C-alpha cells in the first residue's frame, strides 16, 4: 500500500495519492491518467465491474444519444483506430464492452476494488489528507479524493404505497439487474417517460402480452435516426484525430452536430419549415438547434414545439392518445430532449395502453397490479423509470465531511456553489468531476470527464511542483463563478421549467440552474485562462 511513486507523493504517511470513486467513463480515465502521472491510485466501485451508468442502466433499449464518433476517448490514437463501433448511436451492451476494453487495455481494473462502496471520507486537516472508509470495513488515506461518481447515478427510488406487497417482479431502468428478466408474454407496466422510459417502451411493447405506460408529463421525443456506423467517416476521423478533437472541444455540446446559423426571423415561413424538416431528419438533439434564438425567444420556440407536436399527431392515429402524448407543459429544449427509436409508433399497437397519471393518478401498488383512481391494472412486471437525484445524489451518498464535519450539500442549501464545477470551498483536495457549475449533462459527458480529469491532473502537478499540500477555491472565486453560472442561465427558457437541472428554493421559489450553460468551449477557455494565470481562484497551502 506504499505510494506508487514516493518521490512524487512526498508524504509517506498516506496509503494512496489519489482515491478515485466510481469506475465509469471519468473514473477509468482518471485512474489511467493519474497512474501515468506517477501517482498511486486506488479506485473504489460499488458495482462488480467498470462502466458506471452504462453498467447499471442495462435496460432493454438503452443507447447513447451522442454519435459514437464523438462518444469515444480521443486520448489514445490506436485505441480510437482499433475500436469498431457498429452503430451511429451504440446500445448499452456495446458501450459497456467498450469501457471494459479500455479499462482492460490500460490496466485500470487492477487499481479498482469492485463491489466496494465508499461509506465516508473525512478530511484530516493536520495530515492534509482524507480518511476514506468503505462498506467492507476498510480504511484508506489519500491526499486527493476524486469523485467520478456521476451526476445521474443515484436513482430516485420508487416510493409507491403497497410496493412491498407486490407479488410480481419490479425493476428500475437505472438499476436493471445483470440477469435475464423475462419479458416475453408478460403483462408489463412502466412508470416514467423520460429519456430512459421512452427508450425502453418500444422494446417492452414488442415482448409483452400487454404494456401499460404510465406517464405524467409529455416530453418531446425526437427520432434518433440511428443507422449502422459510417465506417469510412470513422476511418477518416481516426486518421486526423487531433483535428477532430479540436472540432469537438470547440462545439458547444462537445459533439459536433450542425449548429444553427440564423434566427427564425431570417427565414421565410417556408424556409423555416424546410429547416425544421432538415433537423427532424438529422434527428436527436438537432431539434434543439433549428434556430439560434429558439432557447431564448418563446415565439420562436413555439414554432419548433408546434412542429414536433404535429409530427406526433401524424404518427399516432388515435387522436386522444396523440393529444395525451403531445407536450404542452413546457417549451421544447427546456427539459433534455428525449431521443428515441419507434417511441410514438408504439402507441399504434393494440397491446399498449397509455395512462395519464395526472387525470388518472396511481393510488397504490396492489399484490397483483396497479390501482389507479379509475381502475385496477393486473401486471406481472413493473418497470420504474423515475430518474435520478441528479447532481448531488451520489455526492451525498458518499458521505464526505470537511474539518467542521459538514457535507458539501450542507453548504449548498440554496443550490450548489462551486468553482468551475470542480471544487467547493471548505473541502480541500476534493475534486468533483463534471460537478454542478460545469457543462456536465449539457455536453458530451465523455469529453467533459476527460477535460476535468486533465485539469485536475494539472492542479495536482502544480501542487507537487510547489510542494503544496492542500488546495481549495477562494470564496471570491467560487462566488463569482456561481454568479456567472446563474447569469449565463438567466435568459434560458429552461430555467423556469420543472426539471432535474434546476434547484428550486421552496421558500421564495428562486431557481438555480445547476450545469454551466455557457457552452463547452467557453468553459474550456476559462479553465485555460485559470491555468495561464497561475491557477487563479485556487488557494494553495
Ligand atoms: O429520468 P427523467 P430518466 N409518478 O428524470 C416520471 C440521461 N439519460 O432516467 O416528467 C409518475 O428524465 C417523470 O415524470 P415528470 C439524460 O440526461 C440519457 O428518464 O417528472 N411518474 C419522468 O417521466 C436524461 O435526461 C440517455 O412528470 C413519475 C420520469 O419519471 C437523464 O438521464 C438515456 C414519478 C423520469 O424521467 C434522466 O433520464 C437515459 C411518479 N411518482 C437517460 N416520479 C441517453 O443517452 C417520476 N416520474 C439517450
Ligand 1: which of 71, 163, 196, 355 to mutate, judged by most atoms within 8 Å of the beta carbon?
196
- The answer, yes or no, to whether residue 315 has pLDDT greater than 90, is yes
pLDDT grade for 278, boundaries at 50, 70 and 90: very high
Residue 13's pLDDT is 82
Q: Are 378 and 369 in contact (CB under 8 A)?
A: yes
Q: Is any ligand 1 atom within 6 A of the Cβ of residue 51?
A: no
pLDDT grade for 9, boundaries at 50, 70 and 90: very low
Q: Is any ligand 1 atom within 6 A of the Cβ of residue 386?
A: yes
| pLDDT tens digits for range 83-112 | 999 999 999 999 999 999 999 999 999 999
Q: Which atom of ligand 1 is nearest to the CA of 386?
A: 30
Q: Is any ligand 1 atom within 6 A of the Cβ of residue 153?
A: no
What is the model's pTM?
0.96
- The answer, yes or no, to whether residue 501 has pLDDT greater than 60, is yes
Residue 395, helix vs strand vs coil: helix
Q: Is any ligand 1 atom within 6 A of the Cβ of residue 441?
A: yes
Residue 229's pLDDT is 97
| pLDDT tens digits for range 252-268 | 999 999 999 999 999 99
CB neighbour class for 105 (10 Å; exposed up to 12, middle 13-18, buried from 19):
middle
Ligand 1: which of 66, 171, 192, 225 to mutate, judged by most atoms within 8 Å of the beta carbon?
192
The alpha carbon of 193 and the centre of ligand 1 are apart by a number of angstroms equal to 6
Q: Are 444 and 248 in contact (CB under 8 A)?
A: yes
- Residue 397 CA to residue 22 CA, distance in Å, equals 12
Residue 116's pLDDT is 98
Q: Which residue's C-alpha comes closest to atom 38 of ligand 1? A: 195
Q: Which residue's C-alpha comes closest to atom 14 of ligand 1? A: 216
| pLDDT tens digits for range 465-479 | 999 999 999 999 999
| pLDDT tens digits for range 397-407 | 999 999 999 99
Our measurement of the distance from residue 447's CA atom to the centroid of its chain's CA atoms, rounded to an integer in Å, reads 12
Q: Which atom of ligand 1 is nearest to the CA of 57?
A: 39
112 secondary structure, DSSP code: E
The alpha carbon of 197 and the centre of ligand 1 are apart by a number of angstroms equal to 7
Q: Is any ligand 1 atom within 6 A of the Cβ of residue 195?
A: yes
The alpha carbon of 198 and the centre of ligand 1 are apart by a number of angstroms equal to 9
Ligand 1: which of 156, 386, 441, 502 to mutate, judged by most atoms within 8 Å of the beta carbon?
386
Q: Which atom of ligand 1 is nearest to the CA of 441?
A: 17
| pLDDT tens digits for range 123-171 | 999 999 999 999 999 999 999 999 999 999 999 999 999 999 999 999 9
The residue ranges of DSSP E strands in 333-409, in sequence order, are 338-340, 352-356, 362-365, 369-372, 375-378, 381-384, 400-401
Q: Which residue's C-alpha comes closest to atom 9 of ligand 1? A: 387
Ligand 1: which of 91, 194, 287, 324 to mutate, judged by most atoms within 8 Å of the beta carbon?
194
- The answer, yes or no, to whether residue 540 has pLDDT greater than 70, is yes
Residues across the chain: 541
The alpha carbon of 84 and the centre of ligand 1 are apart by a number of angstroms equal to 30
Q: Is any ligand 1 atom within 6 A of the Cβ of residue 385?
A: yes
C-alpha cell belonging to residue 323: 393529444
pLDDT grade for 12, boundaries at 50, 70 and 90: low
Amino acid at each position: 500500500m506504499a505510494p506508487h511513486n514516493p518521490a512524487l507523493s512526498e508524504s509517506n504517511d498516506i496509503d494512496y495519492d489519489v482515491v478515485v470513486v466510481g469506475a465509469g467513463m471519468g473514473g477509468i480515465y482518471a485512474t489511467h491518467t493519474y497512474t501515468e502521472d506517477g501517482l498511486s491510485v486506488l479506485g473504489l466501485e460499488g458495482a462488480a465491474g467498470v462502466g458506471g451508468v452504462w453498467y447499471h442502466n442495462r435496460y432493454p433499449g438503452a443507447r447513447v444519444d451522442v454519435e459514437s464518433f464523438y462518444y469515444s476517448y480521443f486520448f489514445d490514437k490506436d485505441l480510437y483506430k482499433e475500436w469498431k463501433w457498429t452503430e451511429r448511436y451504440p446500445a448499452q451492451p456495446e458501450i459497456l464492452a467498450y469501457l471494459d476494453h479500455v479499462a482492460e487495455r490500460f490496466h485500470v481494473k487492477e487499481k479498482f476494488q469492485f463491489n466496494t462502496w465508499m461509506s465516508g471520507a473525512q478530511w484530516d486537516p493536520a495530515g492534509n489528507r482524507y480518511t476514506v472508509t468503505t462498506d467492507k470495513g476498510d480504511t484508506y488515506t489519500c491526499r486527493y479524493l476524486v469523485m467520478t461518481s456521476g451526476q445521474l447515478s443515484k436513482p430516485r427510488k420508487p416510493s409507491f404505497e403497497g410496493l412491498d406487497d407486490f407479488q410480481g417482479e419490479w425493476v428500475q431502468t437505472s438499476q436493471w439487474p445483470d440477469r435475464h428478466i423475462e419479458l416475453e408474454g408478460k403483462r408489463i407496466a412502466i412508470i416514467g417517460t423520460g429519456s430512459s422510459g421512452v427508450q425502453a417502451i418500444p422494446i417492452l411493447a414488442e415482448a409483452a402480452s400487454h404494456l401499460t405506460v404510465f406517464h405524467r408529463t409529455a416530453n418531446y421525443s425526437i427520432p434518433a435516426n440511428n443507422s449502422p456506423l459510417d465506417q469510412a467517416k470513422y476511418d477518416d476521423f481516426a486518421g486526423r484525430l487531433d483535428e477532430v478533437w479540436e472540432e469537438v472541444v470547440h462545439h458547444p455540446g462537445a459533439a459536433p452536430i450542425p449548429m444553427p446559423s440564423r434566427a427564425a426571423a431570417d427565414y421565410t415561413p417556408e424556409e423555416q419549415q424546410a429547416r425544421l424538416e432538415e433537423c427532424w431528419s438529422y434527428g436527436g438533439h438537432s431539434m434543439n438547434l433549428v434556430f439560434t434564438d429558439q432557447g431564448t425567444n418563446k415565439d420562436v420556440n413555439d414554432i419548433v414545439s408546434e412542429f414536433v407536436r404535429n409530427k406526433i399527431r401524424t404518427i399516432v392515429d388515435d387522436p386522444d392518445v396523440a393529444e395525451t402524448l403531445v407536450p404542452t407543459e413546457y417549451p421544447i429544449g427546456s427539459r433534455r430532449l428525449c431521443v428515441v427509436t419507434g417511441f410514438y409508433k408504439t402507441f399504434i399497437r393494440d397491446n399498449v395502453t397509455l395512462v395519464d397519471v395526472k387525470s388518472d393518478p396511481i393510488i397504490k401498488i396492489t399484490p397483483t397490479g396497479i390501482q389507479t383512481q379509475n381502475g385496477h391494472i393486473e401486471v406481472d412486471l413493473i418497470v420504474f423509470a423515475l430518474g435520478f437525484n441528479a447532481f448531488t445524489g451520489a455526492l451525498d451518498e458518499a458521505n464526505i465531511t470537511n474539518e467542521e464535519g459538514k457535507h458539501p450539500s450542507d453548504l449548498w442549501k440554496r443550490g450548489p456553489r462551486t468553482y468551475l464545477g470542480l471544487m467547493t470551498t471548505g473541502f480541500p483536495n476534493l475534486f468533483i468531476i463534471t460537478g454542478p457549475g460545469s457543462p456536465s449533462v449539457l455536453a458530451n459527458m465523455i469529453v467533459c470527464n476527460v477535460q476535468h480529469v486533465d485539469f485536475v491532473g494539472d492542479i495536482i502537478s502544480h501542487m507537487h511542483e510547489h510542494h503544496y499540500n492542500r488546495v481549495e477555491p477562494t470564496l471570491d472565486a467560487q462566488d463569482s463563478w456561481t454568479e456567472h453560472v446563474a447569469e449565463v442561465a438567466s435568459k434560458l427558457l429552461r430555467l423556469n421549467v420543472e426539471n432535474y437541472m434546476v434547484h428550486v428554493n421552496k421558500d421564495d421559489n428562486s431557481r438555480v440552474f445547476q450545469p454551466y450553460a455557457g457552452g463547452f468551449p467557453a468553459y474550456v477557455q476559462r479553465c485555460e485562462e485559470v491555468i495561464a494565470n497561475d491557477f487563479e481562484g485556487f488557494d494553495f497551502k
